[in-house]
A and B are shown apart, each in its own frame.
Chain A
């Protein structure tokens, strides 16, 4: 894929659906998600990689979509907050735990926080509270004071581990 001062045609699969558009080399992935795919659950707080509000998965890794180029997602799979629930609109266990634990106030940080929590629990399914804090260090919340967010992630971990054991 080469272009000389031109728009570059890319196809990004977001939550299982392909989106094709011609973009500039400097367009960031958040803009592609919000403006091309019209998925507005991915928020923009700082636009500099500091706050985590724009966290999505790129081929399964959590990234700050505001400092990833859209062209870097060409041919890849992106998962956003809209893509983590079950097929019937069921909530993901981490989403449910955020509601149950009161870990949401204004909600601005929530999509990014939940995406990062899901990725973190994949790396570390049975974390300590300290490990949860470290896992979410790139996600800022101006409202909750973090306590309930940590509770929610620990609760989700317990529930997910319990389900896994009963399936086994």
Chain B
């Protein structure tokens, strides 16, 4: 796999953008490299150049400003797992990071890389979708902030071009009385890619004010299911509505057959896992 290709380790987003532009989309950004290096080894990606983001300090860290929490794209899964800010405001995110990969991978893998790689099973995506996160993108045509729900366009595809950089993730603080959790269905407990995953956000205890449900690994992209939210909102938070939401999730998902499971099995699990996840929130779960 060793080839000599152009390489750059910029210190700022500006420098990185210049280099990407010069290579006209044939350069690849490398963050943790845990997805990209395996793709290069397998020949799935053959970049003409690498732009290593690790020295771009402005892309690191987690901060609260006003009613928003900002997570730099280069923040590692280990840092997310151990963040006090996230433990306080969005305990679902440290919990999700703790489920992913292995300690060694979490020490280098970044949240930006997880989203930019755009695997249908990317574990950070469903919780961030239901938290109504936005992503900040730099580069042509211009710097922009878009809902994560509009970011993914297909397996491995996003709205970004090869000349764009995902810089930050911005999450609005949850209102009082809102809870958000993430549940996965895997074959093995350790080191397994999710077969089906469900994230849910519910505001309200007896009666549901706002609801969001998202699914992972069961469609070309991690997806919100507005139909499932609709049958919950404005209704008492009771088993009948939860069962109805599970049915909506089943209808909305678009799974494929693959090595991990058949499409039919996945649809079945979507319904059950959605129902269980919502019931857990009703029972008081918080991450």
Question: A residues near B, CB below 8 A?
Answer: 1-8, 24-28, 31, 47-50, 52, 55, 61-64, 67-69, 71-72, 116, 119-120, 133-135, 137-139
Contact = CB atoms under 8 A, between A and B. Distances in A.
A8 B191 contact: no
B2 interface: yes
A26 B34 CA distance: 13
User: Which of B7, B34, B78 neighbours the largest number of chain A CB atoms within 10 Å of its CB?
Assistant: B7
A135 B6 CA distance: 37
B7 A52 contact: no
Contacts of A67: 33-34, 37-38, 105, 108
B234 interface: no
B6 A5 contact: yes
A26 B5 contact: yes
Interface string B264-280: 00000000000000000
Interface in B2-59: 2-9, 30, 33-34, 37-38, 40-41, 50, 52, 54
B102 interface: yes
Interface centre among A7, A48, A49, A139 (most CB of B within 10 A): A49
Nearest to A119: B103
Contacts of B37: 26, 28, 67-69
B52 A62 contact: no
B107 interface: yes
A1 B33 CA distance: 18
Interface of B: 1-9, 30, 33-34, 37-38, 40-41, 50, 52, 54, 78, 101-105, 107-108, 190-191
Contacts of A31: 2
A72 B41 contact: no
Contacts of B191: 50, 137-138
B65 to A, nearest CB: 28
A5 B5 contact: yes
Contacts of A7: 4
A71 B30 CA distance: 12
B207 to A, nearest CB: 38
B4 A138 contact: no
A72 B103 CA distance: 19
Contacts of B52: 69, 71-72
